[in-house]
Amino acid sequence: MITRADIRQETNSASYSRGLQLWRSGSVRKMDVEEKEQIPGETEMEIRAEVLGSTGNFYQVQIAVDEKGGEILSDTCTCPAHEKYW
């Protein structure tokens, strides 16, 4: 299972703080977590969510995480600030 400490380690302080702020404010909507076994014994978690941004627009966020190592494998976001926060 991915922990808060794993997420904090894999992100910079600005993106972690912003994500935590969005979560606490209830802006994270329709979150879905799916486990995928890529290779026997290696599980990847795919986390997808719809997030209400500060401008009032909804954005789609997707993160793939190596469950064993806690490493972020990929991330995408339809938000204009993707490069700034991720």
| pLDDT at residue 86, rounded to an integer | 43
Tally of structural domains, the chain? 1
Q: Which domain holds residue 81?
A: 4-85
**Is 32's pLDDT higher than 60?**
yes
Average of per-residue pLDDT across 15-42:
85
**What would the pLDDT profile of 42-74 be if each residue is shown by its tens digit?**
788 888 999 998 888 899 999 888 877 677 888
Q: How confident is the model at residue 84 (pLDDT cuts 50, 70, 90)?
A: low
The counts of H helices and E strands in the chain are: 3, 4
Do residues 70 and 63 touch, judged by C-beta distance below 8 A? no
Six token digits for residue 49: 């969510």
